Amino acid sequence: MVYFIGEMTGCFIARIGITITYGDNMTLTNSFSFKSLLAGLCMAMALGGANAAEVGGVRFNDTATVGGKELKLNGVGMRTKFFIKVYAAGLYLPEKSSNAAAIQKMDGPRRIQLVMMRELSSDDFGKAFMDGLNSNTTEQERSALMNQTMQIGKVFAMVPGLKKGDVLFLDWIPGTGTVTSLNGRKIGDTIQDVAFYNALLRIWIGDKPADANLKPGLLGTK
């Protein structure tokens, strides 16, 4: 017969005694510590529970809740200009994908999260945003989305500037529209039409992304 007698302390089993009996007269008893053996396991469990990805010192949760639905972190990356860090970015989706076209066709909510790495004026951010939008849309698309583009321009006009550490969410919520939030507070009006949100996504994952090194990070291929 074999008996296991364990003493559980915190994360690990402090000591285990094993008694093995052979027939009626022969007994072997051994007792040993598992602290060293299980220390690595406990650390791995702790790291696994952190549930965050990191880029440039900025941590992104593995999941986010948007429109009542849980999204998965698809990828992260850093937007740089002339070797200067501008913002860290994370893309959240219903399911992970490395295909930019498939991401734009996804049902359900989606989120782009930007964390500022430096101060940026509203004019500079708005101009960079519009440049990215224009570079990844056709003239026909820009004409069709003119009203939405004017609305997002008004959103930027409401923010005097962005500071290091500011967190900007650009969320698509089916049945609601594009919702922009700064540091957890909604700014501007909700913008209708999923075609507009997809045009926004192409700023980062389109054929002419704002940063060629950021795109593969968001697509999870880097």
pLDDT in tens, 152-174: 999 988 998 999 999 999 999 99
Q: Is the pLDDT of residue 23 over 70?
A: no
Nearest-angstrom CA–CA distance, 133 and 153: 12
Q: What is the mean pLDDT of the chain?
A: 83
- pLDDT at position 35: 42
Give the mean model confidence (pLDDT) for residues 112-127. Answer: 95
Place of tokens 């593969």: 216
DSSP state of 39: H
- Give the C-alpha separation, 220 to 199, whole Å: 20
Question: Cα–Cα distance between 93 and 60 in angstroms, integer?
Answer: 14
Instruction: Write out the two tokens for 48.
Output: 């696994």
pTM of the model: 0.78
pLDDT tier at 45, thresholds 50, 70, 90: very low
Residue 29, pLDDT score: 44
- What are the tens digits of pLDDT across the range 175-198? 999 999 999 999 999 999 999 999
Query: Does residue 215 have a pLDDT over 80?
Result: yes
Q: What is the pLDDT of residue 207?
A: 97
| pLDDT(142) > 80 | yes
107 and 174 in contact (C-beta within 8 Å)?
yes
Q: Which string of DSSP letters, residue by residue, matches 195-222? A: HHHHHHHHHHHSSS-S-TTHHHHHTT--
Contact by Cβ (8 Å): 49, 42 = no
Residues of 192-215 as b/e, b for ≥16 C-beta within 10 angstroms?
eebebbbbbbbbbbbeebbbeebb
By residue count, the chain amounts to: 222
Pairing of β 185-186 and β 120-121: unpaired
**Which contiguous run of DSSP H or E holds residue 149?**
helix 146-157
**Residue 179: Cβ within 10 Å count:** 21
Domains and CATH numbers, the chain: 2-48 (no CATH), 52-218 (3.50.70.10)
Contact 109, 173 (CB under 8 A): yes
Higher per-residue confidence, 16 vs 106:
106
First to last CA, the chain: 54
89 closest CA partner among 196, 173, 170: 170
Q: Decide: residue 134, CB within 10 A, 0-12 exposed, 13-18 middle, 19+ buried.
A: middle
Helix (H, G, I), strand (E, B), or coil: what is residue 28?
Answer: strand
